[in-house]
Amino acid sequence: MEYKVSENVSAALKAVTADAKVQEALQFMEDDQENIIQKQIELTLIPAPTFHEEKKAARLMEMFREEGLDDVHIDEYGNVVGVRKGTGGGKNVLLEGHMDTVFALDTPLEIRRENGWIYCPGITDDTRGCAAVLSTLRGLNKAGITTKGDIHFVGTVQEEGMGALRGMQYYVHIY
């Protein structure tokens, strides 16, 4: 099956990526890759099976604060939330990665680099998503990109298995 992107979406993407500030942000994100990988590794080494994301949430919250987000907090459900304020009059946007993994609390977590690959339980699903959220935030900040709407940067809990996306469900219903 072939997937076709509509002409409207394709034209909009070309217009956005042609913007000099967006190009600057994208280049920064590429150049900043090793820094983001280090943040990803740091988060990976914090065990966070479903229903046990507290320690990873605390560190992600610190990272959000370090990047200058407003209203950074852990909501009553356990999701980490930070807001990048817009100028007003635009739609809010949500960028999210989930913090839990399928691995038990006592799973050995050791980073191994081999042939350009990084190996460790939980390094990708979805710690990479959390790292991508941070990378996007850093790129926007570096390029000085402003938005009309607020951008909500969120690390959600209880995505895996019996978690059944509960953190995300809670977030979209409350906010």
141, with CB counted inside 10 A (0-12, 13-18, 19+), is middle
Tokens 């191994």: give the residue: 112
Based on the residue annotation, tell me whether 75 is a catalytic residue of this protein: no
Single out the catalytic residue among 53, 96, 150, 159.
Answer: 159
Element (H, E) at 73: strand 70-74
The distance of Cα 22 from the centroid of its chain, to the nearest Å, equals 18
Single out the catalytic residue among 100, 126, 150, 160.
Answer: 100
User: Pairing between strand 80-84 and 93-98?
Assistant: unpaired
The alpha helices in 96-143, defined as continuous H runs, are 127-143
Based on the residue annotation, tell me whether 159 is a catalytic residue of this protein: yes
> Which residues are designated catalytic?
100, 159
